[in-house]
């Protein structure tokens, strides 16, 4: 089931950018998909990547193979791979990562353990991605507001 965030609203109709739910599935399946790869896909193929499940080990492997084949077919080159984290930080509902706290404090917010626990794994994933050093980060405050963190 497609789950888009309000801070993604400017591109979800066209899917011109990779939505967070797909980015989470990419990290889960160990695939480094570039925007240029995404742009070689049809809108239907992008929608398939949004809709395909990626939770169980079988689903993760199916998702991975689908993207690998699709990118190879569209670009003639294999897609990059990433190490798969056995315990990704967005699954840990008990501990707020320090980089998230640091980023939140830059905008005058402190995320409590209870607030972090109440977020969905996808919301936690989005905050982790939006708080990375070198990332544009303009959507971090929007995500914080959308998730009720201030």
Helix (H, G, I), strand (E, B) or coil at 123: helix
pLDDT tens, 86-144?
A: 999 999 999 999 999 999 999 999 999 999 999 999 999 999 999 987 666 689 999 99
pLDDT tens, 44-102?
A: 999 999 999 999 999 999 999 999 999 999 999 999 999 999 999 999 999 999 999 99
Angle between helices 43-51 and 20-29 (to 10 degrees): 70
φ/ψ (deg, to 5) at 81: -120, 150
Q: Does 71 share its domain with 132? A: no
Total tally of structural domains belonging to the chain? 2
Q: Does some domain include residue 86?
A: no
- Domain end (from 81, 108, 132): 81
Distance CA 54, CA 5 (A): 19
Q: Residue 55: which residues within 8 A CB-CB, separation 6 or more?
A: none
Q: Does 30 share its domain with 57? A: yes
Angle between helices 121-130 and 20-29 (to 10 degrees): 90
pLDDT value, residue 12: 87
Q: Does some domain include residue 93?
A: no
Q: Does 118 share its domain with 63? A: no
Helix (H, G, I), strand (E, B) or coil at 142: helix
Q: Does 120 share its domain with 61? A: no
DSSP string, 5-44: -GGGTTTTTTT-S--HHHHHHHHHHTEE--HHHHHTS-HH
What domain range includes position 27? 6-81
Distances (CA, A) of 124 to 66, 87, 100: 26, 14, 9
Q: Does 14 share its domain with 75? A: yes
The answer to whether 46 and 15 are in contact (CB under 8 A) is yes
Q: Does 74 share its domain with 110? A: no
């Amino acid at each position: 089931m497609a789950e888009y965030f309000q801070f993604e609203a400017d591109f979800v109709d066209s899917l011109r950018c990779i939505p967070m739910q797909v980015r989470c599935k990419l990290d889960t399946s160990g695939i480094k998909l570039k925007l240029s790869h995404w742009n070689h896909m049809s809108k239907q193929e992008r929608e398939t990547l949004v809709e395909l499940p990626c939770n169980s080990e079988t689903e993760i492997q199916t998702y991975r193979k689908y993207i690998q084949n699709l990118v190879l077919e569209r670009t003639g080159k294999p897609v990059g791979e990433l190490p798969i984290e056995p315990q990704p930080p967005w699954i840990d509902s008990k501990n707020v990562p320090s980089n998230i706290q640091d980023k939140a404090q830059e905008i005058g917010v402190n995320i409590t353990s209870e607030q972090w626990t109440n977020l969905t794994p996808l919301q936690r994933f989005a905050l982790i991605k939006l708080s990375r050093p070198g990332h544009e980060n303009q959507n971090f405050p929007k995500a914080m507001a959308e998730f009720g963190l201030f």
